[in-house]
Amino acid sequence: MKNVGEAPQEELATGERSTRNRVARSILDHGPSTVTELAGRLGLTSAAVRRHLDALVADDVVAPREQRVYGARTRGRPAKVFALTDCGRDAFDQSYDQLAADALRWIARRSGDEAVMEFARDRLATQAETYREAVEAAAPASRAEALAKALTADGYAATARSAPVGEQLCQHHCPVAHVAEQYPQLCEAETEVFSRLLGTHVQRLATIAHGDGVCTTFIPKTTHQTTDSASASTAGRNPA
């Protein structure tokens, strides 16, 4: 059997991550815990627990706080406990997608599919205003790129690239893909927003929700883009 000191660096790193996850999971299962409580539950030394907690605090997975004392206080300072942060809870399984799908199913059952579409449009309204500011601040030829940067800030990992007679807006991640699989109205409302912001008809070519690797939207070259390009070309041929 290998001694720990002889284990490859990658193997050690994997073991560290595994133990760190056990510490976080124990706090999830049992609530805010002291170092002593964690050491007892996990069969670790207090020093080892503190080392893993330091790393978890640095990663914003857990945060220290004073232990709440119910009844008469004893002498001395209350023991410090470690609790999961919102970021830490998000690292574990969540049911947000199922909750959203259930809510949309209820809306559709009560008020029909058009109500789901109205919800999708309303949901994007606030985001669209932020995107509009970014798009309108950009030069006409750079508006697709400006929209891509605004989408990236919202977690969509978007890029814009040239395509024959236009551009392609690519979203490499979709935070609502699992729900959009059941309710394509979310994608349709987003496409409408892109069209309004860019001032031209756009065409959705692919979506992650439908099994494609990337959400791809084709943006045809608009009149002002063509005019700008022609003007630049003319200026290049006829210098002042």
pLDDT mean across residues, the chain: 84
Per-residue pLDDT at 2: 36
The pLDDT confidence band at residue 240, using thresholds 50, 70 and 90, is very low
Task: Give the C-alpha separation, 204 to 227, whole Å.
Answer: 25
More confident residue, 107 or 71: 107
The pLDDT > 70 percentage for the chain reads: 82
What tens digit of pLDDT does each residue of 186-238 get?
999 999 999 999 999 999 999 999 988 899 999 998 755 544 443 444 444 44
What tens digit of pLDDT does each residue of 74-131 get?
555 667 899 998 888 877 766 788 899 999 999 999 999 999 999 999 999 988 999 9
The whole-number average pLDDT for the span 51-69 is 88
Q: Which amino acid is at 223?
A: T
- Residue 181 in this model has a pLDDT that exceeds 70: yes
Per-residue pLDDT at 237: 47
What tens digit of pLDDT does each residue of 218-228 get?
999 875 554 44
- Are 138 and 150 spatial neighbours (Cβ–Cβ below 8 Å)? no
Per-residue pLDDT at 50: 95
More confident residue, 4 or 23: 23
Those residues with Cβ within 8 angstroms of residue 168's Cβ, 6 or more apart along the chain or in another chain: 160, 161, 162, 205, 216, 217, 218, 219
Minimal CA–CA distance to 108: which of 170, 27, 184?
184
Per-residue pLDDT at 66: 81
The whole-number average pLDDT for the span 55-60 is 94
Minimal CA–CA distance to 207: which of 218, 196, 199?
218
Task: Give the C-alpha separation, 87 to 59, whole Å.
Answer: 9
- Residue 167 in this model has a pLDDT that exceeds 50: yes
The whole-number average pLDDT for the span 151-169 is 93
Q: Which amino acid is at 61?
A: V
Per-residue pLDDT at 96: 82
The pLDDT confidence band at residue 12, using thresholds 50, 70 and 90, is very low
Minimal CA–CA distance to 213: which of 175, 176, 171, 163?
171
Specify burial of residue 84 (Cβ count, 10 A radius: 0-12, 13-18, 19+): buried
DSSP letter for each residue of the chain: ---GGGS-HHHHHHHHHHHHHHHHHHHHHH-SB-HHHHHHHHT--HHHHHHHHHHHHHTTSEEEEEPP--SSPPSSPPPEEEEE-HHHHHTS---HHHHHHHHHHHHHHHH-HHHHHHHHHHHHHHHHHHHHHHHHTS-GGGHHHHHHHHHHHTT--EEEEEETTEEEEEES--TTHHHHHH-THHHHHHHHHHHHHHTS--EEEE-GGGT-SSEEEEEEPPHHHHHHHHHHHHHHHS--
